[in-house]
Every structure is written in C-alpha cells, then in structure tokens.
Amino acid sequence: MSELTLAGALTDALATALDKDQRVLVIGEDVGQTGGVFRITDGLIGRFGDQRVIDTPVAESGIVGAAFGMAVAGLRPVAEIQFMGFSYPAYDQILSHVARIRNRSQHRFSAPMVIRMPCGGGFGAAEHHSESTEAIYAHIPGLKVVIPATPYDAKGLLLAAIDSPDPVIFLEPIRLYRLVREEVPEGYYTVEIGKARIETEGSDVSIITWGAMTHEVREAVEVLAADGISAEMVDLRTLRPLDEDAIIDSVQKTGRAVVVQEAPKTAGFGAEIAALIGERALYSLHAPVERVAGWDTTIPLKKAEHRYMPTTEAIVAAARRTLDA
C-alpha cells in the first residue's frame, strides 16, 4: 500500500499495465520526456522506452486513428488526449471507427484500446480546457465511458479499461488529480467497469453523481447529516454501460433523487438518469427528481467560472426540496 493522489494512482496503473503486458503502450502528445501535461505518464519513458511510450505529432485524430490500427493489429494502446476539449478532432475516429469496428466486422476485428482525457473545470484554465462533454461519448453504442473519483478506483478502473476487449473512454477529473491521497494497493487489481459505488449509505435521499462533483456531493452529504438528513451518495464510476440496478435500488430505498453533474443541464447525462428513474422507479418517488447541473452556457473563463460550477449549497438545497415536497 502507498498513499497516492488520483494522478499518482493513474501513473501507477500505467506502469503496472506496461510491466504486466507487452502489448500495452502509451501514445500521445508530450507523454514521453515531459510525462504529459499533467505528469500522468511521468517516468514511464525511462522505464519502458520510446517504443512503448510514444510521443506523437500534434494530431488528435491521428493519435486515435493510429492507436485504433494498433489495437486492430493486436496491441493494447492507451492514447492520451491532453484535454477533453481537444478530443473533438478525433471524434470522427472514435464514433465512426473505434466504436463500430466490432459491429461492422461482426467480431472479426475489435479495438481494445483506452482513450484517456482529462476533463472538467473549476481551476481557471484557458478556454477549451474545462470541458464536461461526457454525454457525447456516453451516447455512442460500442464505447464504454469510465470516470473515476478516487485514487483507488482510478487505478483499478484504468487497469480494467486496459484489459477491456472493447474501447474505453477514460475521463479524468482534473480537479481531483491532486486533491486527496488515499491508500492504493501495490501491483495489479481491477475495479469492475459498469458498477457504481455507494460511497455513503443513507435512507432519505439518493444523490447520484460522477467525477469531480463527488467532491461537492460529499460536502453536501455532511451538511445534510448535520441536519439529521440521511443522504445516500452514489458515485456512478461508469456512465456506459450504466449500472441501472444500483441507481434503481437506491432510489427505491430512499424515494428521492438528486442528480448532480458539472456539465450543462440540457441533454446532459443527468437527463438519462432522471429518465431511467422515471421508467423504473416512478412509483417509489415521494418527490420530483431534482437536477443540479452547470448552466446552459459555455463554461465561463477564469473570472466568472465560479458562477457556473454547481455548488455544495445548490446540492443541499435540491436535496431539501425533495424532502419538502
């Protein structure tokens, strides 16, 4: 065991995978000597060489398209896109090819690959560096979409993603990279993709979230507890395939649901959760499902960003509304 940040746990996962499986390689911009803009690949080139930790030209479509070819030919590439906001040049590769090759070849070819991308805002970055567009990936058949919120899950989920026979979009909440440290086992272990995690059990209201918003939800659960309200915190960890049963079980138990996302509200992934609850748990509900989300604006730049980010107070208020209903 060692105390690692989420960032450190990801580095540990990559090193573990590169060590365990000769087919694994890391490919992306500045992933070599620089160790990546967030230093997630720090030290890997020294240990595994430039044939397995590959610096590329600045070309996201090229990185994903080349990694796709490598995966088809039997390797297990882990591609890094520097920021989620730079993933869109590769979107055609991801949708039209990575996600579809198993279907369009009826299992004859597949693309077992991971596309890592840091996501989310709240740290005053430059434009395009604070995106939360997970819904545009979660919408696509053939992809798995994973987003860890703890160091333990980050390592276990990344190792599971690298082992996945199907492509995984691996989202890394930038705000959580170095927020906390926790005990992370050494060596190889996996956390199952497609399984949510109940961080805090509760009986009055389910608060369902993923990624960086787990931080605000955790605070909200404490504020509510001080008021005698027992909130259950569900960290989805995987958006696709979605752990529907975990959500439904929780809502059937509490009868109330708040869905929290950093992304803009309209057509966000939270809408899918709310619809699912409507389909499968409507008669358990004592109150309408609440959504706490970013506004339907482009995420503001540094000076006004705080006006956009969903707050602990907003989550607490939404939970109280479900109890007052």
CA distance 263 to 210: 11
Among 29, 153, 166, 262, binds other proteins (CB under 8 A): 166
Please give the residues from 281 up to 320 whose contact with other proteins meets the rule CB under 8 A.
none
Which residues from 193-232 bind other proteins, rule CB under 8 A? 194
Q: Where are the beta strands (DSSP E) in the chain?
A: 2-5, 24-28, 53-55, 76-80, 114-119, 144-146, 168-173, 181-184, 197-200, 205-209, 231-235, 238-240, 257-264, 290-294
Q: Which of 15, 37, 66, 301 binds other proteins (CB under 8 A)?
A: 66
Q: For residues 261 and 270, is the Cβ–Cβ distance under 8 A?
A: yes
In the set 107, 128, 129, 215, the catalytic residue is: 129
| Window of 97-105, 203-211, 249-257, 300-308 that interacts with other proteins by CB under 8 A | 97-105
Report if residue 244 touches other proteins, rule: CB under 8 A. Answer: yes
Residue 18 as a binder of other proteins (CB under 8 A): the answer is: no
Is the sign of the CA dihedral 197, 201, 203, 205 positive or negative? Answer: negative
Regarding 323 and contact with other proteins (CB under 8 A), the answer is no
Q: Rounded distance, CA 140 to CA 138, Å?
A: 6
CB of 154 to other proteins, least distance (A): 22
Q: Does 271 engage in binding with other proteins (CB under 8 A)? A: no
How far is the CA of 299 from the CAs of 57, 132, 303, in angstroms? Answer: 29, 9, 11
Please say which residue, 182 or 249, places its beta carbon nearer to other proteins.
Answer: 249
**What type of residue is 255?**
G
Q: How far is the CB of 269 from other proteins (least distance, A)?
A: 14
Question: How crowded is residue 227: how many other Cβ atoms within 10 Å of its Cβ?
Answer: 10
Those residues with Cβ within 8 angstroms of residue 175's Cβ, 6 or more apart along the chain or in another chain:
120, 121, 122, 123, 212, 215
Among 9, 102, 191, 293, binds other proteins (CB under 8 A): 102
Residue from the set 21, 30, 69, 181 that interacts with other proteins by CB under 8 A: 69
Could you say whether residue 70 binds other proteins (CB under 8 A)? Answer: yes
The per-residue DSSP string of 293-321 comes to EE-SSPPP-GGGGGGTS--HHHHHHHHHH
Of residues 30 and 182, the one with the C-beta less far from other proteins:
30
User: Quick check: is 129 catalytic?
Assistant: yes
Q: Could you list the residues that contact other proteins (CB under 8 A)?
A: 25, 51, 56-57, 59, 61-62, 65-75, 89, 92-93, 96-97, 101-110, 141-142, 144, 165-166, 194, 240-242, 244-245
Q: Catalytic site residues?
A: 129
